[in-house]
Amino acid sequence: MRNSHILAVSLFFCLISSSLAQTFIHPSKDPNNWQPIFEDQFVGASLETRNWVTCHWWNWDGKGCTILTNNELEWYLPENVTVRGGNLILTAEKEKTPGINGRTFDYRSGMVSSGRMGNLGVPTKFAFQYGYVEMRAQIPIGKGLWPAFWLLPVTNKPLPEIDVMEVLGDNPNTVYTNFQHGTSPTDKRTIGSSWRSPKPLEGWHTYAVNWQPDAITWYIDGVERFRMTQSELVPNEPMHLVINLAVGGDWAGAPDESTPFPSSFLIDYVKVWQHK
C-alpha cells in the first residue's frame, strides 16, 4: 500500500490492453502450461491458519498492528477477520481501540497476510516467485475506506511491492494498479496506472497479476488493464500475499458522517498458479 508521497505522478511504462495486449489464456483453462500452487476458497467457519496470519510483522504488539507511516486510523485485530458463507470477511468498525505505544485508534479493522508476524525466524505461511495470482472480491463503499490486495518480499523489507488492486471507498469506480520500488520507504517510486469502470465496483469482481521475470501484467475481470515491461525492475525474490481493509490514512482521507460502519471487504477466493 502506498504512502502519501506516492501521490506524485506515476511513471507510465506500460502497454494498454485495449490496443496492444497479447492474447492471454487464463491459467485455469491452460493446465498444460500452468499448475495451481495455492488456493483458499474460505470454506468452513474459521480462517485457515496454515495459509494466513492476521497482522503485518511491523507495528505489531503481539496481537494487533497498523501502518503508522501511512497515518492510518485503524488498528488491525484478529477479531475483525471472519470466515462465513464461503467468504473471508474483513470488517472495519468505528470503535476506539488501544494499540501500539499507548495510542488509541478511532477504528478497528481486519487484514490477513500469508507472510509472518515477527522476525525472520518465524516461518512464512506461503510465498512464491513468479506466477499468476487472482482474488475474487467485493469491495466496501464509503469515504475513508481503503481495501487493497498486494505482494511484499518475504525478507521483511517494505520494497519492492506489487499492488494487485487498491480502491478508495469514495471513488468506487476506480481501481489503482501499481508497482513500487526504491531504496527505502522515504525513497519510494511508483510505476502504475488506474482503470475506471463505467459503474461502481460494488459486486463481485476478479483482480489479478501475472508476475513474470520480464513483465508484470494486471487484470480486472480477466481483461488486461496495465502492463509494466521494465524487466530490470521486476522483483526476482519470493513474495507473500496481503489483503486488508484500511481506514483513513494520508491517501484515503478520514471517514465522515456518510461512511457506513461496520463495513466489510469480502473475498471469495485467492488462487495462485505457476508455469510448469
Domains along the chain? Answer: 4-22+42-239+246-267 (2.60.120.200)
Q: Examine the pLDDT at 153 and tell me if it is beyond 60.
A: yes
Q: Given this model, what pLDDT does residue 22 score? A: 54
Q: Given this model, what pLDDT does residue 14 score? A: 41
DSSP letter for 61, please.
-
State the average pLDDT over residues 127-134. Answer: 98
Q: Given this model, what pLDDT does residue 186 score? A: 74
Clarify whether 161 is annotated catalytic. yes
Which residue type sits at 263?
Answer: S
Spatial distance between the Cα atoms of 211 and 162, rounded to a whole number of angstroms: 9
Q: Examine the pLDDT at 4 and tell me if it is beyond 50.
A: no
From the candidates 39, 161, 202, 257, give the one annotated as an active-site residue.
161
Q: Which of the four pLDDT bands, split at 50, 70 and 90, describes residue 184?
A: confident
Contact call for residues 113 and 241 (beta carbons, < 8 A): yes
Residue 49's nearest CA partner among 91, 98, 83 is 83
Q: Examine the pLDDT at 265 and tell me if it is beyond 60.
A: yes
H or E element: which one contains 17?
A: helix 17-20
Clarify whether 166 is annotated catalytic. yes
Q: Examine the pLDDT at 193 and tell me if it is beyond 50.
A: yes
Phi, psi of 165 (to 5 degrees): -160, 145
φ/ψ bin of 15: left (φ > 0), alpha (ψ from -120 to 50), beta (otherwise): beta
Q: Given this model, what pLDDT does residue 13 score? A: 40
Spatial distance between the Cα atoms of 216 and 209, rounded to a whole number of angstroms: 7
CB-side neighbour CA atoms (13 Å) of 182? 15
Spatial distance between the Cα atoms of 48 and 30, rounded to a whole number of angstroms: 28
14-73 pLDDT, tens digit per residue, is: 444 444 445 789 999 999 999 999 999 999 999 999 999 999 998 999 999 999 999 999
From the candidates 166, 232, 237, 257, give the one annotated as an active-site residue.
166
176 has which bridge partners? 166, 194
Q: What is the mean pLDDT of the chain?
A: 92
Spatial distance between the Cα atoms of 66 and 110, rounded to a whole number of angstroms: 10
Q: Examine the pLDDT at 268 and tell me if it is beyond 90.
A: yes
State the average pLDDT over residues 178-185. Answer: 88
